[in-house]
Amino acid sequence: MIPTFHITSPDEALRPIIQEKIDNLNKPKGSLGRLETLAMQICLAQQTLTPSLSHPCHLLLGGDHGIEREGVSVSPREVTWQQMVNFTKGGGGVNMFCRQHGFHLRVVDVGVDHDLSDISGIINRKIAYGTRNFLYDPAMTQEEYERTLQVGIDLVDECHAEGCQVLCVGEMGIANTSPSSIWMSLFCQMPLDECIGAGAGLNTAGIVHKREVLGKSLDRFLRLHPVNAKADEIIRYFGGFEMVAAIGAMLRASELKMLILVDGFIMTACALAACQLYPAAKAYMIFGHCGDESGHRRMLDALGAEPILSLGMRLGEGTGALCAFPIVDSAVRMMNEMNNFDNARITKYF
**pLDDT tens across 24-49, in order?**
998 889 999 999 999 999 999 999 99
pLDDT band at 341 (very low <50, low <70, confident <90, very high): low
pLDDT in tens, 123-133: 999 999 999 99
Q: Which domains does the chain have, with CATH numbers?
A: 12-51+335-344 (1.10.1610.10), 57-326 (3.40.50.10210)
pLDDT for residue 350: 65
**Residue 321 pLDDT > 90:** yes
What mean pLDDT is predicted for residues 93-112? Answer: 97
* Percentage with pLDDT > 70 across the chain: 97
Apex 106 CA angle, 127 and 309, nearest 5: 110
- 347 falls in which pLDDT band (50, 70, 90)? low
Compare 347 and 84 and report the one with higher pLDDT.
84
Round to whole Å and give the CA distance between 284 and 212: 36
Residues paired with residue 166 on neighbouring β-strands, in sequence order: 259
Q: CA–CA separation, 281 vs 234, rounded Å?
A: 19
Q: Is the pLDDT confidence value at 333 over 80?
A: yes
> Are the C-beta atoms of residues 274 and 5 closer than 8 Å to each other?
no
Instruction: Please say if the pLDDT value at position 176 is more than 70.
Output: yes
Query: What's the pLDDT at 158?
Result: 98
Predicted structure pTM score: 0.95
**pLDDT band with cut points at 50, 70 and 90 for residue 312:** confident
**DSSP codes of every residue in 164-191:** --EEEEEEE-TTTHHHHHHHHHHHHT--
pLDDT at 83 over 90: yes
Q: Where residue 342 falls among pLDDT bands split at 50, 70, 90?
A: confident
Q: For 220-239, what is each residue's pLDDT tens digit? A: 999 999 888 999 999 999 99
Q: Which amino acid is at 333?
A: R
**Strand locations in 42-82 (E):** 57-63
Catalytic residue among 144, 171, 255, 317: 317
- At residue 200 the predicted structure's pLDDT band, cuts being 50, 70 and 90, is low
CA 118 to chain centre: 28
C-alpha 349/C-alpha 264 separation (Å) is 41
* pLDDT confidence of residue 15: 98
- Name the average pLDDT for the chain: 94
Is 306 a residue of the active site? no
What's residue 43's pLDDT? 98
